Structure 1
């Protein structure tokens, strides 16, 4: 007896650290600067051209002509230059569709340095060691990278399982390569786990309705009550960061207005960026580990529909109508941004779908003010940020405020107040064979 075997086509990315020589770093920097300058040239040409004459063909011709006339454009491979053009047009499509703002000029300092490699066959990836692999980068040569995930290369690569391209990205810790991987895997069976409601907070990062709270063990505030924006750094790193910030402020005091900063000042800023990037990596790593564990444990995860942009708006106000508690609101906004609630929900969305579960969103109003035991909203029940004590004489339930909100989130879902499920799309292909077991 044969059954239909459901396979789904998945596309995901994998980022690896590159080990470059000083010469290779200079070549990749030149390519990134050329790609940024090409973007700016396309943007200027687009804005100066009348609307009736704007077309992809016209922009492509101008790009080809520029590569012939400008010598330093030649350091950028032709396919990478075409990728810049396609990315620019996609940015305008996202703007027209209401998914993003209009494309803008890319400054040298504030923009992220990146180069696209749209063709996967140009990479020629090979594993040479248990921890290292080698990839070919056009106009740069063979480069080693950290092998931390099995990639479909060599005999393991086929039409359905392969690397379709990559992007080179530079941050404060150096150059990295982000592979675009396409694979065909069995569709997961429905998850048999239970239901859980999650409330994202500041004192308790992720509070679960069943009491299995997820805490990264790093207090959001210092002993004096101010927000700790460097909580992902150890004491030695915090002390080093303080010294670097003091040194940068001292060196900046000697700079005259509109003068370019010294090399020593830029070097100090680079060291500060490295520490900040290291803290960000630790936070993202904790989010990945935590969301993966939640997706494997629970079949249905319910979260709040939060408008984080409005939650972190400044309370400063205007000159005529100044705000109140500006410093406290600023610290709260900083703590909310550090927890990156939106990134957590994004990770849960695709990880629950990968493990056969579902993620639902419910309305957020009054979830932290309503008692999860009696269902009443009684004034004064919320005592501070961490404690909830129901003032209803017939109830009197008390506990952690975030735990109370998580129970309310799950109760809203069970009462049928869930919004549209946040499920990812998948390309399904059916073949005949034995029905696979659940991939978890």
Structure 2
């Protein structure tokens, strides 16, 4: 089974500069390849990976700066571009901006990487055109390396290995008759049908105040100045801690739910559509733009989609089935008598059925309705949510070479 392992690198100044250069070259190849694909689409034609890879090899003799990065990193960039264009369409793929995109590059040939453990805390890996690079062993590697991705996050560099740990998904869960419905909210992050509720603050009040002061300071600074870069680095440090706490919360919750339940049912929430900005302006009378912006921050801050991804990834090791059901009327339906009435939800946390008088926590009531919908789906044999798998990019180039040319 393929899984991911992420470690923090300890780069020298020369190695960090080379990684920055590799990232710039890969970004230029991505943007050039995307522009070429869009130019072909304007003429009603199509260009695939095989043609772009051949043109990249020819361009190396004319543009010396392309030879600064490892060749298979550039080819893998075109592989990733080809995949995302086929999946989402050429016009929906985003450019890689020099200001907003963090430098990264992928090394697809994991069998050529040498990894050694130096001591209990440190190890090293030999990467093309970088030599030996030390990294902090925060957890065991636990398998055969298939590929690696080097990326920068804030002020630090990280390496992410795709590892084949040799494990397989169990045919049956340890508790085959167990199941739970999960309701994701903005007040309480996770509420389960068995009454278990879990929430956590990902930022402290001090960090929120400091981040606002840094935003005000940033607005007064000149673009491109050294002080502005220092302010941005401080802001990234705060947001990075928030992101790490959210990831830890989602991973811990996913582990607990999948280890104890053979069936986990979620609402099929389209967070991208739910967090779109309201129409109008803040100054416009009767506009709810400000309130909608606050709701959007609360939704994104709880990590709804990240929790669903963590559940599907962790379910591979426990044999848990993860099902997503429609979210229609789950918060307005009584879990006892199935009566639907918007007035039954008296507040954010209290549900009182207007038909039978059943009273309980509103989020737990919604979670029970979600579980009932999931049990109905599994009884019909319609599992519309598949388990996530890790991407193995090493063999993509050979497969793409067999595809027909359009």
TM-score range, shorter chain: 0.7 to 0.9
The Cα offsets for residues 66-94 of structure 1, whole Å up to 9 and x where unpaired, read as 22222222220111121122222222222
What is the alpha-carbon distance in structure 2 between the residues aligned to residue 408 and residue 52 of structure 1? 49
Q: Structure 1 residues 426 and 95 mapped into 2: Cα distance closer, same or farther (>3 Å)?
A: closer
What is the alpha-carbon distance in structure 1 between the residues aligned to residue 216 and residue 67 of structure 2? 42
8 Å contact kept, 1:358–1:421: no
Matched, 1:368 2:331: yes
Aligned residue runs from structure 1 range 56-135, under 5 A: 56-96=49-89, 102-135=92-125
Residue of 126, 138, 146 corresponding to 1:164: 146
What is the alpha-carbon distance in structure 1 between the residues aligned to residue 373 and residue 128 of structure 2? 54
What is the alpha-carbon distance in structure 2 between the residues aligned to residue 77 and residue 101 of structure 1? 28
Matched, 1:205 2:189: yes
The Cα offsets for residues 366-390 of structure 1, whole Å up to 9 and x where unpaired, read as 1001111222123422123222122
Any idea what SS the aligned residue of 2:151 has? strand
Matched, 1:414 2:375: yes
Q: Structure 1 residues 45 and 357 mapped into 2: Cα distance closer, same or farther (>3 Å)?
A: closer
What is the alpha-carbon distance in structure 1 between the residues aligned to residue 351 and residue 271 of structure 2? 23
Any idea what SS the aligned residue of 2:162 has? strand
What is the alpha-carbon distance in structure 1 between the residues aligned to residue 13 and residue 286 of structure 2? 51
TM-score w.r.t. the length of structure 1 is 0.80
Any idea what SS the aligned residue of 1:302 has? strand
55-64 vs 34-43, which deviates more? 55-64
Residue of 229, 241, 259 corresponding to 2:211: 241
What is the alpha-carbon distance in structure 2 between the residues aligned to residue 93 and residue 421 of structure 1? 22
8 Å contact kept, 1:315–1:323: no
Q: Structure 1 residues 288 and 416 mapped into 2: Cα distance closer, same or farther (>3 Å)?
A: closer
Measured after TM superposition, the shift of residue 415 of structure 1 is: 4.1
8 Å contact kept, 2:122–2:136: yes
Q: What is the match of residue 257 of structure 2? A: 294
Any idea what SS the aligned residue of 1:185 has? coil
Q: What is the match of residue 41 of structure 1? A: 32
Measured after TM superposition, the shift of residue 42 of structure 1 is: 2.2
Any idea what SS the aligned residue of 2:149 has? strand
Q: What is the match of residue 175 of structure 1? A: 157
Q: Structure 1 residues 104 and 241 mapped into 2: Cα distance closer, same or farther (>3 Å)?
A: closer
8 Å contact kept, 1:91–1:102: no
Any idea what SS the aligned residue of 1:151 has? coil
Aligned residue runs from structure 1 range 138-287, under 5 A: 138-152=128-142, 162-193=144-175, 194-216=178-200, 218=201, 232-251=202-221, 255=222, 260-287=223-250
Any idea what SS the aligned residue of 2:165 has? strand
Q: Structure 1 residues 314 and 13 mapped into 2: Cα distance closer, same or farther (>3 Å)?
A: same
TM-score w.r.t. the length of structure 2 is 0.86
What is the alpha-carbon distance in structure 2 between the residues aligned to residue 58 and residue 426 of structure 1? 29
C-alpha RMSD of matched pairs (Å): 2.6
Q: What is the match of residue 394 of structure 2? A: none
Measured after TM superposition, the shift of residue 294 of structure 1 is: 0.9
Mark the structure with the bigger radius of gyration: 1
Any idea what SS the aligned residue of 1:383 has? coil
What is the alpha-carbon distance in structure 1 between the residues aligned to residue 277 and residue 15 of structure 2? 43
Measured after TM superposition, the shift of residue 184 of structure 1 is: 2.4
Any idea what SS the aligned residue of 1:422 has? coil
Matched, 1:401 2:401: no
Question: How many residues are aligned here?
Answer: 383
What is the alpha-carbon distance in structure 1 between the residues aligned to residue 281 and residue 294 of structure 2? 19
8 Å contact kept, 2:281–2:289: no
Q: Which runs of 5+ in 1 are unaligned?
A: 1-9, 153-160, 219-231, 428-440
Residue of 8, 26, 41 corresponding to 1:17: 8
Q: Which runs of 5+ in 2 are unaligned?
A: 391-406
